[in-house]
Amino acid sequence: MAIRFYKVYDFEVHGTEPQALHSVRTIEIENKMICLARISEGYFAIDDRCPHAGARLGLGKCTEEGMVVCPVHRYQYDAKTGKGASKQGDYVNTYPIEKREDGIYIGIEKKWWQL
């Protein structure tokens, strides 16, 4: 499999600070819903669906510690690793992010016939 990167922010169009610090939002790429979080270390992308109740994480919030908080039951997931804060061992998938000169890109794994 290969990773294909999709531009989600264009610095010329959206400015160099297109998303507020400690915020989340939902982005759809290739029919996949992704939660984009901005924390002090940069941008991070995780699955938008909470594995606990199915809520959209992009409608939640992001703490100063970099935890994405589910808007339904307040479950928390590390924006960098996807690991849940609960002792149940839950997690959400993460996606690679690249900050380039012209914008922010999210990587999605593609099979060779999808490239």
Angle, CA 38 vertex, CA 48 and CA 110 arms, to 5°: 50
- Give pLDDT tens digits for 60-77: 999 999 999 999 999 999
pLDDT given for residue 107 in this prediction: 96
CATH number of 2-114: 2.102.10.10
* Rounded CA separation 54/78 (Å): 17
* Rounded CA separation 4/64 (Å): 30
- Give pLDDT tens digits for 16-32: 889 999 999 999 998 89
SS3 content of the chain, % helix, strand, coil (to 5): 10, 50, 40
Selection from 27-31, 50-54, 76-80 with the highest mean pLDDT: 76-80
Cβ contacts of 90 within 8 Å, gap of 6 or more: 51, 52, 75, 84
Alpha helical stretches, state H, the chain: 11-14
Domain boundaries, the chain: 2-114
* Rounded CA separation 72/52 (Å): 10
